Amino acid sequence: MSVVALPLWGVAALLGTAIAAVAIGRRGSATQLVYGATLAISAVVLVIVTGELVGDPAGVSAVTLPLGLPWIGAQFRLDALSAFFLLVVNLGGAAASLYGLGYGHHEPAPGRVLPFFPAFLAGMNLVVLANDAFSFLLSWEFMSLASWALVMAHHREQDNTRAGYIYLVMASFGTLALLLAFGLLAGLGGTYTFDAMRAAEPSQFVAAAVLGLMLLGAGSKAGLVPLHVWLPLAHPAAPSHVSALMSGVMTKVAVYGFIRVIFDLLGEPAWWSGVVVLSLGGLTAVLGILYALLEKDLKRLLAYSTIENIGVIFASLGLALAFKANAMPSAAALALTAALFHVLNHSFFKSLLFFGAGAVLTATGERDMEKLGGLIHRMPLTSFVFLVGCVSISALPPFNGFVSEWLAFQAILQSPDLPQWGLKVMVPAVGGLLALSAALAAACFVKAFGITFLGRPRSAAVEHAHEVDRYSLAAMFALAALCLLAGILPGLVIDGLSPVTLSLIGNRMPVQLAQPWLSIVPIGESRSSYNGLLVFVFIAISASLAAFVIHRFASHALRRGPAWGCGFPDITPAAQYTAVSFAQPIRRVFGTFAFRARERVEMPPPGATAPARLDVEVHDVVWETFYQPITGAIGFATEKLNHLQFLTIRRYLTLVFLFLVTLLLVLALWP
């Protein structure tokens, strides 16, 4: 039995769990059983895949099942790239299942979630394993539909049906683009296996069209601007552990699709493809985080931040493409490693943050940050792990987000040797955009943590909040520990990624574990290095030293009293800074340009008792420029075509006759 059969058995077990969940869904113990089963299956697949990635990194195993298209069957394959993404999928799946063991009890209608959760996991596993276009597209659609069903789990809540509808439209559109891309790759001969596509040499025109279609298809699933509109609606609408999977893992499956086609199947890239991907990535990163900064719904803020991280990943992928096209393999390996490292990191901290948001939601029933605050006193453990997630995602050392950001910057510093002028101008600009998005991300997560967990409670719901159950906490603590571990031992991850870069680029980063003191270095001859472990140890030592000296020699006296606040008594918690007011300076600096944000203050005349009013007007520019014209055109067309419904039978016959004549004419004139 080849190795690829093992994860496939896992998929079969997941599908079996999904069917069983339909049968037992109404029983009280169903939640425990289903999440327990998915946890066990994901953990087993995770162990197998990790073993494969470490033990036999260059190994490729393939299997053909007698399903799918009759003349090629359903082909599945496990290589380094799919092994890495299987690791991401199943790690996220295991964490979400563990979290679901506790969180699932708060689900009002478990029958709407339990069958689809294992199905969703199975779909994501299958996409990563598929080795022919038919299985890939089928699994992709299966994954989309399962996640759509999960988005619609709470369909009676306001806005959720709209979110589900937009998601469905965008997902169908994305699959259509993928279908066309695979059609182009298969060529006239129609060889739908990936092996045949890999062997074929597509013309330049076909390669360009495939790149564009993949950016539409995989980009819409991943959340590239301007195709991101469904993401901040759909991800938060699902139950929180599913939101974590959608944001942390499903977007990564989309990234996998992009890498598989562009880096693996398409052959040598053209240099300008790097420019396209790079600039889309930079734009996505900055716009995503600006949207997140203006958001006051905690889960939507996290969804927008996912868009930012996808932007960072795509920018690194664009760099890797540019280096690959210019035969700079060591730099390309560095950029690709940065992208994959960020894939892994983002799956850790975004799942963690969505779990935290779910914990807040169960404890208070609120997602609106303007009604939260002061939760650090009520939920100390949740707030601690949420803080770890915030620090990691803000790319601050010694946590993991910083390492992938650092690798991306190091890759940018390799790029002045690129020969094309388009790249020479674009790369530093995108470097600036990435730096900007990193700084804005820190601002965004100061806001997310500060408004939600710090300060005084802004509503009664917070005052009755309690710490969440042990399963949820265990899942969050496990992910927080992974964030720290990947941050202080990045060499392990980088070396683990080397088989992937070897198979896609033909080169790898230098062996990191051979470096003294477990430092990491970007490329062999460079003299730059970073050591997360030592930074962590130094901070720990100097903080303890400072605390020791202070407690040994300084005063111990401590008195509790009312807050000082410059002597202004603060009557109500409503006078605190809110999410909207916290973002006001940034909205003024960046929002006037990006969102046409306007503020209007209406002051009553002196002496009048009317309240002053502040109106803030923010436009979603992407929605208004790209989508409103389309929806408008469709609305217009349907209104016109609506007349066809009310014709007499004579007119219908005339129309049929005319149509037939036209058709015959076309046939007659066709050369």
CA distance 445 to 355: 15
As measured in angstroms, the least distance from the Cβ of 431 to other proteins is 6
In the block, tokens 């609106």 appear at: 368
Nearest CB to other proteins, comparing residues 593 and 657: 593
69 lies in the site for other proteins, by CB under 8 A:
no
Nearest CB to other proteins, comparing residues 333 and 583: 583
Q: Which residues 471-500 are close enough to bind other proteins by CB under 8 A? A: none
The residue count of the chain comes to 671
440 lies in the site for other proteins, by CB under 8 A:
yes
Question: Contact region for other proteins (CB under 8 A) — 52-60, 100-108, 566-574, 594-602?
Answer: 566-574
Alpha carbons within 13 A on the beta-carbon side of 609: 0
Nearest CB to other proteins, comparing residues 198 and 588: 588
Residues 254 and 343: beta-carbon distance below 8 Å: no
459 lies in the site for other proteins, by CB under 8 A:
no
Q: Distance of alpha carbon 389 from its chain centroid, rounded?
A: 15
**Binder among 105, 450, 459, 619 for other proteins (CB under 8 A):** 450
Q: Which residues 326-365 are close enough to bind other proteins by CB under 8 A? A: none
535 lies in the site for other proteins, by CB under 8 A:
yes
Question: Contact region for other proteins (CB under 8 A) — 251-259, 299-307, 545-553, 599-607?
Answer: 545-553
212 lies in the site for other proteins, by CB under 8 A:
no
Q: At what angle do helices 116-129 and 133-151 cross, to 10 degrees?
A: 150
Q: Which residues 496-525 are close enough to bind other proteins by CB under 8 A? A: 519
In the block, tokens 């038919």 appear at: 134
**Binder among 158, 189, 524, 560 for other proteins (CB under 8 A):** 560
In the block, tokens 């030293």 appear at: 545
In the block, tokens 């600009």 appear at: 429
Q: Which residues 364-383 are close enough to bind other proteins by CB under 8 A? A: 373-374, 376-377, 380
**Binder among 23, 109, 199, 550 for other proteins (CB under 8 A):** 550
Alpha-carbon separation of residue 112 from 26, 201, 481 (angstroms)? 10, 46, 32
Q: Dig out the tokens for 179 from the structure.
A: 């279908």
Q: What is the DSSP letter of 627?
A: I
**Binder among 54, 67, 199, 542 for other proteins (CB under 8 A):** 542
Choose among 441, 475, 243, 242: nearest CA to 342.
Answer: 441
Nearest CB to other proteins, comparing residues 159 and 570: 570
Tell which phi-psi region holds residue 207, choosing left (phi > 0), alpha (psi between -120 and 50) or beta. Answer: alpha
Choose among 441, 442, 410: nearest CA to 427.
Answer: 410
As measured in angstroms, the least distance from the Cβ of 50 to other proteins is 29
| Residue 658: Cβ within 10 Å count | 10
As measured in angstroms, the least distance from the Cβ of 591 to other proteins is 11
Q: Where are the alpha helices (DSSP H) in 113-203?
A: 116-129, 133-151, 160-186, 194-199
2 lies in the site for other proteins, by CB under 8 A:
no
Nearest CB to other proteins, comparing residues 1 and 571: 571
**Binder among 111, 365, 422, 455 for other proteins (CB under 8 A):** 455
Nearest CB to other proteins, comparing residues 568 and 646: 568
CA distance 160 to 237: 6
630 lies in the site for other proteins, by CB under 8 A:
no
409 lies in the site for other proteins, by CB under 8 A:
yes
**Binder among 275, 530, 591, 595 for other proteins (CB under 8 A):** 530
- Three-state DSSP class for residue 146: helix
As measured in angstroms, the least distance from the Cβ of 512 to other proteins is 14
**Binder among 577, 594, 618, 622 for other proteins (CB under 8 A):** 577
**Binder among 101, 285, 411, 583 for other proteins (CB under 8 A):** 583
585 lies in the site for other proteins, by CB under 8 A:
yes
Q: Distance of alpha carbon 571 from its chain centroid, rounded?
A: 41
Question: Contact region for other proteins (CB under 8 A) — 154-162, 339-347, 448-456, 615-623?
Answer: 448-456
Cross-strand pairs, 482: none
- Residue 439 identity: A
Backbone φ and ψ of 412, nearest 5°:
-60, -40
Nearest CB to other proteins, comparing residues 108 and 416: 416
435 lies in the site for other proteins, by CB under 8 A:
yes
Question: Contact region for other proteins (CB under 8 A) — 206-214, 348-356, 388-396, 637-645?
Answer: 388-396
Q: Dig out the tokens for 190 from the structure.
A: 């129609």
**Binder among 157, 417, 602, 624 for other proteins (CB under 8 A):** 417
Question: Contact region for other proteins (CB under 8 A) — 166-174, 208-216, 273-281, 412-420?
Answer: 412-420
CA distance 186 to 366: 49
**Binder among 88, 451, 475, 493 for other proteins (CB under 8 A):** 451
Question: Contact region for other proteins (CB under 8 A) — 34-42, 236-244, 402-410, 652-660?
Answer: 402-410
562 lies in the site for other proteins, by CB under 8 A:
yes
7 lies in the site for other proteins, by CB under 8 A:
no
Nearest CB to other proteins, comparing residues 57 and 397: 397
CA distance 412 to 225: 22
**Binder among 183, 272, 573, 594 for other proteins (CB under 8 A):** 573
| Residue 485: Cβ within 10 Å count | 16
456 lies in the site for other proteins, by CB under 8 A:
yes
Nearest CB to other proteins, comparing residues 46 and 275: 275
Backbone φ and ψ of 65, nearest 5°:
-100, 150
Burial class (CB in 10 A: 0-12, 13-18, 19+), 416: exposed
Residues 440 and 67: beta-carbon distance below 8 Å: no
Total interface residues for other proteins by CB under 8 A: 91
395 lies in the site for other proteins, by CB under 8 A:
yes
CA distance 72 to 132: 8
Alpha-carbon separation of residue 391 from 153, 181, 213 (angstroms)? 32, 39, 36
Q: At what angle do helices 133-151 and 251-259 cross, to 10 degrees?
A: 160
Nearest CB to other proteins, comparing residues 236 and 401: 401
CA distance 117 to 122: 9
169 lies in the site for other proteins, by CB under 8 A:
no
- Residue 41 identity: I
Residues 251 and 337: beta-carbon distance below 8 Å: no
As measured in angstroms, the least distance from the Cβ of 409 to other proteins is 6
Q: 599: part of which helix (H) or strand (E)?
A: strand 598-602
CA distance 338 to 132: 28
Q: Where are the alpha helices (DSSP H) in 613-648?
A: 621-622, 628-641
Nearest CB to other proteins, comparing residues 95 and 579: 579
Q: Which residues 292-321 are close enough to bind other proteins by CB under 8 A? A: none
As measured in angstroms, the least distance from the Cβ of 469 to other proteins is 22
Question: Contact region for other proteins (CB under 8 A) — 222-230, 234-242, 337-345, 586-594?
Answer: 586-594
